Structure 1
Amino acid sequence: MSDYNAQRRVGEAFLAALAKGDWDGIRALLHADAVWVLPGDNTVSGRAEGAGAVVERARRIAGYGVSFELLHVLVSAENVALSIHNTARRGDTVLDQHLATVCRLRNGKVESIETYLSDVDGMNAFFV
């Protein structure tokens, strides 16, 4: 039987660390070989391989002044997904993105992250 609360805590801890800029906190949640895949053609998209690359991607996203609003934490039998609303402004360019970030877990830590976006073109325009 799965411990859904443990999965929920991992997801909530990941987003809380991202919002606070707690890079060591994010790293503590990851397996060393963690991977994060994010769609688009911009400075934060593509495949980040390894805990260091995942943390660097999180740092880069946060560096654009993004606000992270957690809408829902969803759990499956083994994993956790975060429904998030991201907003930011850079000059006249506005980011208003709804996304789902799916974290696949292994032994209570994140082994892979896949992010689904509501507006890939908007991400590409913002993260240049």
Structure 2
Amino acid sequence: MSSSTSSSMNKYWIPHLDIHKKVITQELQYYLGPEATVRAFTRDGEDGFLITTPGPCLSDEQIDDICVKSKEMWERQAAARASGSSSRTLKRPLHAPVVISKAGSSDSSRRRNKDRRRNDPRREERR
């Protein structure tokens, strides 16, 4: 981009509140044309987006539309995380752990104690 083109571009900042970065990145050129760009930008300590465009910035209706689409995106991501955590498959299913015994299981601990008593060398001496 040449300096003359750069100086003819308008720059606008909007706060990031209720706006998903992926949504604004995908929608911006649809609303403002192919020359429009957006990037994360902090202004006076507040995070937001710096929009560079040859024309006017987004209208209130366009920002509302982006906010609605952002909310839908967050809901889809949350649903995917919730469903993905319980049905996630192991990368190597052949190495899945197989439970042999569990700590505190009364049945297995009784068997172990019985085996210990039976094999105790002191017990043989007492007979």
What TM-score do you get using the length of structure 2 for normalisation? 0.20
Q: Which has the higher helix share?
A: 2
Q: Which has the higher contact order (CA 8 A, sep 6+)?
A: 1
Instruction: Tell which structure's C-alpha radius of gyration is larger.
Output: 2
Q: Which has the higher strand share?
A: 1
What TM-score do you get using the length of structure 1 for normalisation? 0.20
